[in-house]
Structures are given as structure tokens and as C-alpha cells.
Structure 1
Amino acid sequence: MIPAELQSLLIDQLPSVPGIEAAAPWTGRPYGLAVTAATAGTVYWTITGASNTAPTAGGERLGPQPLPDLPGGRKAATDQIEQALLTALKAGDVDQHFVRAERYSTLESRPAVQYGVTVDAIDGWRLFVACVGTAKRNEELRDGRHFHPDNTV
């Protein structure tokens, strides 16, 4: 699965995740994605990938994913929108194309990008969905805020 296909899958599936209001292409980055929480703000993501880098599946497939804790209200936790990505990913994985995935915010040693997911696909693609930034409701992501996401939107 290439980044454009993952972007399309997430745009199709995210609005059906409870607590997610919308998902749309974001032109600020190649394969950009803007995910808006219901009655809260927006988290901006970029999707990249590399072919033939994912470890061999060996029969492994992505397991069930929990629903994010997005109860509504004026704020939504960025890490729960990150979880919504995996919930949508699994919901759209009708062909069992995904092998494994991990959330950056749950790693013991977090990478420089605080929020995001790495997804391994059966075709050897390793895809990265990295948080570029956040914006409060009815605001735009400002250039100076790239790669400085808030914990809530």
C-alpha cells in the first residue's frame, strides 16, 4: 500500500469513528491529512512510506483496535486522535493488508515526532503517519507551529 492509498483509506474511514467529525486531504504536505474531532480542533498529519522495508509478515495480521476516547466537548486529546487513525485503519482493512502498527505516543522511548503511527503492510511497505501540528477549532495550523503539536485540540 502506497501513501496515497493509505490517505484515501483514512479519509474514507475516519468519519465513521466515534468522536471524529471530518477527515480531509491537507495540502500543506504531500499526502497530508486533516482530522477534526467533533466539537474540538484539528490534527494535521503527513503520510510517507518506504517500499520493501517492512519485516516479513509470516501470517501475522493487524489485530482489533480499540475505539478512541473522544467523548466530545471543547477539547480532544491528540493521542486519542492518533488512536482513531488505527481504529479507522483496521476498519478499512477488509483484505487484511496490514500486518502490524504502533502508536508513537505509547512508545517507551518516543521519537522526535510525538504523535503518529508506523504501519507495516503485507506487500512490504512501511508507512509513517506523522503529526505535523494541531489547531484549535476554527483556527488554521500556523507555520511556526509545525512539529509542535498540543496535547489537546
Structure 2
Amino acid sequence: MSSAKSRKSLSIRLQPYTDSPLSEVIDYLKSLDTEEANRRIGEVLVMCLLPYARLHEAVSDEELRVTCLESCDALDKHASTMRQALKVPQLQFSHPGFVHSFPSQSSSSSSVIRTSADREETQSQKAKSTLSPIIQDKDPIESIDRLFD
């Protein structure tokens, strides 16, 4: 005897103004086949809203904490893949009031104490390294599609 899982259904009607960002997203989703659009919307909803949904359920604080951490991890991975697909470097905050842009895969773990001048020189070198794309010889559209794989 097999037990079939029951399904839930959500129908939503969005009617954004034509020149809005949501309108652009709707046009993009309409360009996908229905199954793919539904899958992507579902992944985004779970990634962004599952912790809030569980907040309103009777779940333990530990389960809520784990759900939140898993969602944050999924969002971080999504953001990293999006930056790579669009060849946008990750912003690094190194000093209050100053924002520097570095490629997301550069990370140095040096235990050497550096002077302020050394740090400025290193930051200048890292900033220059952002001129090369993170993903070379890749079609950005193909890379964007990997966001939902």
C-alpha cells in the first residue's frame, strides 16, 4: 500500500507597474517554462522565508536557529554564484567609512602584522586585481542559470 503525499497550492497575482524592478522579474520568469519558473520561485521563497514561516510554528529555538543558519548559508551561496555569473567582485570592508572591492575567491590568511602603509599597498594591489573577470570564457546567461542548480 503506497501513501501519496498531499500537495499544497498557492496562487498569487502580481500586478506591478510596468517600469518597476518587479515587472522586470516577472518578464524574466515568463520567459522560462512554467516548471522552471515554479522551481526557481519555490527555491527563493524557501531560502528567504522559511525561517519566518517556522517562527510562526511551534518549533524549538534550536530548530529555528538551525533553519536560520541554513537559510543564511543558502543566501550566501546564491549571492556568491550571482556575483561570479555577473562578474561583480565582492565588497570587502576594511576600515570604517571605506569600501574596497575584491574578487570573492581571494583570501589571505597571513599572521604577519602590517603597518598602515603596508595595508594600503596591499589593498591597492587587490583593487587592481579586480580588473580580470572572476569567471573567464563563460557566458553570463549560462552562469546565471547555475544559480538555481
Q: Quick one: higher RCO (CA 8 Å, sep 6+), 1 or 2?
A: 1
- TM-score normalized with structure 2 length: 0.23
- Return the index of the structure with the highest Cα Rg: 2
Greater share of residues in helix: 2
Greater share of residues in strand: 1
- TM-score normalized with structure 1 length: 0.22
